[in-house]
Structures are given as structure tokens and as C-alpha cells.
Structure 1
Amino acid sequence: MSCTACGVKVEGPYQESALNRLNPDDQQFLLDYLLSGFSIKALEENTNMGYAAIRSRLDKLISNTKTVIRSEDQKKAILEKLRSGDITVAEAKRKLEKL
């Protein structure tokens, strides 16, 4: 992980949150929703979005979050198969690149 503003890099094993792996638009929408008290009505008042647009955006955010989590679960399963010797490094690499 690194900061593009100051150039600081953090290396080593650490667990990154699924929310960190969401795209910046999804992260911002989630933050806006959180700051509105998880109230669609309050979010409507604080943005130019109507109920239908907010509901659609929430559904997209939920779907994107599930995709991120599934992808991480699939990566873990592939790496576990590699560790146990069930697949080769080349097979693991190919499978990881498909995700």
C-alpha cells in the first residue's frame, strides 16, 4: 500500500478491508450514506438524488461489495490449493489473473 501524495509505502502482511477495495465512487457514496445516518430521506435532502436513484445506487453498492468479497474468497481458495499442492504455481497464477 502506498500514498501517492507523499510517497510513503507500507509493505508486509496486512488485512485490507473489503470496503477499501471498493472503487472511489462506491466509497464516497457509502460515506455519504453513513453521514446521513443511513437515512435515504436525509441523503435525498443532502444531494440532488431522488429516492429511486439512491435505492438503485445502494443496490449497486451492495452488488459491488459482494463481488469484492467473493473475489477475495476465491483468491484465498486458490492460494490454499497452491499451499496444499493441489495446483501448480502456473495454474494458480492463471486462475488469479482471471479474477
Structure 2
Amino acid sequence: MAPYPVNRQYLPPKGWDDPQMRRNFGDPLHEQEELVSMWGPDIPVIDPSVALKQFTIAFAIFASIYGLSYIASPQMPAIRREYPHDGLQKAFGGHDQARTESVEEEED
């Protein structure tokens, strides 16, 4: 019969023949030794539900700071450049229109 699966991270760190693996010579191995050994998954320091709650709170704080900074950012302090001749379409001979002028210029 296999020994009761006790994660080796719960055992005291000193007093073993192999202190790294926390085992004595001749101890029977559990059939799922990979999971209960020192190289297995770590034991969570805090409860996963508490960790999820803290992560959610941190994400909400980050998102609210980002949202408030986006809302509070000022308008662009300059006027966008307007090019003559339908956004220089005639000058470059292209068909794509970068930005059309809303006000028709007076030609000399």
C-alpha cells in the first residue's frame, strides 16, 4: 500500500538524509511522487479565491486610473494641417484622398 500523500513542502526542512528532497534513505515513495515531491507544484501561499479577489481589485484600480487619465487628457493643442488641392491629390496625382478640405480656397 502506498503511503499517504503528504506534500513534502509541508515537512520540516531539517532532519533528513536528503534535505533537498526531504526524505530519508529507504522511505517508500508514493505512486504520485511527482506531485508530492519538492519539485511538484508549489503550495499556494494564500487561498486562490483570495488571490483572484486581489488580482481583480488591482486590475480594476489599473483600469480606472487608465480610464480617468484618458478622459482627463486635454485636446490636441494644435490645429491639424490642411493641404491645398484636396489634400495634395492633384499635386501627387493620386486617387487616395488623405484629407479633403472643408473650406474651398480662393485661387489667384
* TM-score, scaled to structure 2: 0.30
**Higher relative helix content:** 1
Give 1 or 2 for the bigger CA radius of gyration: 2
